[in-house]
Amino acid sequence: MCIRDRELKKKLRNPGSLNIMFGHYPSSVIYQSSLVRNLLKSTGLVYMSGHLHDLMMFKARHLYTFHEDKSALELELADWKHNRAYRLFAVDHGVFTFADVKHGEWPVALVTFPKDSRFWLHSEEGSLEQLRQRRQIRILAFSDVPVLNVTIQIDNNSTLELEGTQEGNGPLYTATWPQFLNLSHGLHNLKVTVVDVKERSQTIRQTFTFVEDNVESFDWGFANLVLRCSFASIFHAMFVLTLLGNLLSMLLLRLKRCSLNISCSMTATGC
């Protein structure tokens, strides 16, 4: 690695900081993909990109992947031109959360705590045991008109339905965990419903846990293939194989022509 790269790593490696990296191209499309991924794994939290978007005819709206055993997250975003997609993200007390949203769909909601268990970054966001000490559900809720109410339901249990309380005049709504709720084991379901004064609603469903063994594995094969590979290496290999194929074809045709010439010569001499 060159001196410039080492200096960049040194600047980014600031204790207590969370580095969010942005780029137009996903790491798989960049020629030096290993450099970007090494920076992300050693100093970054998440890398956000575009360019591939939803891969047009494939309509891949969720191109997300982890690098190096959930130590770094890479997120591709669908395009604005055709899909009118944008990303809402937050870092709430060191916990990164995000939601990909379509413009014009109201209200918009993002649960900042507890985090969706599929996207937990164990190397950067602290242990789940420590996070369990935070006894508060936190939600960001937006609309183009005032928000009427935010309701929270845990484990599809009507007796565990809470009302979110707005913090000041901002978009943050909070609710305190019920004291009797045991969060020390298992995978839990969280349902959040936001309603605005126009009676439009948005419902978010996600799972959460505070036990590492219960974290859901998020492994989407197609997204992993697209974002973890190196297109430069693939195209280099295709070029070499195409070149070898052409050379082999010409060699076979040459050998076949020589074989025909020998056969005709033997026929002419009466052999």
DSSP 103-146: TT---EEEEEESPPGGG--TTTS--HHHHTT--EEEEEEE-SS-
Residue 176 φ/ψ region, left for φ over 0, alpha for ψ in the -120 to 50 degree band, beta for the rest: beta
Whether cis (ω within 30° of 0) applies to the bond prior to 114 is yes
Closest CA to 156 of 128, 116, 119, 192: 192
Task: Determine the pLDDT at residue 3.
Answer: 43
Task: Determine the pLDDT at residue 200.
Answer: 95
Please, which contacts does 86-92 make with residues 24 or more away whose CB atoms are closer than 8 Å? 87/48, 88/140, 89/20, 89/48, 90/140, 91/18, 91/20, 92/138
Task: Determine the pLDDT at residue 185.
Answer: 81
d(CA 75, CA 67): 11
Query: Computed from CA positions of residues 35, 41, 43, 45, in that sequence, does the dihedral angle turn out positive or negative?
Result: positive
Q: Are 134 and 180 in contact (CB under 8 A)?
A: no
pTM of this prediction exceeds 0.85: no
Paired with 203 in beta bridges are: 193
> Which residues does the chain have with pLDDT short of 50?
1, 3, 271
Query: What is the β-pairing status of strands 188-196 and 147-154?
Result: antiparallel
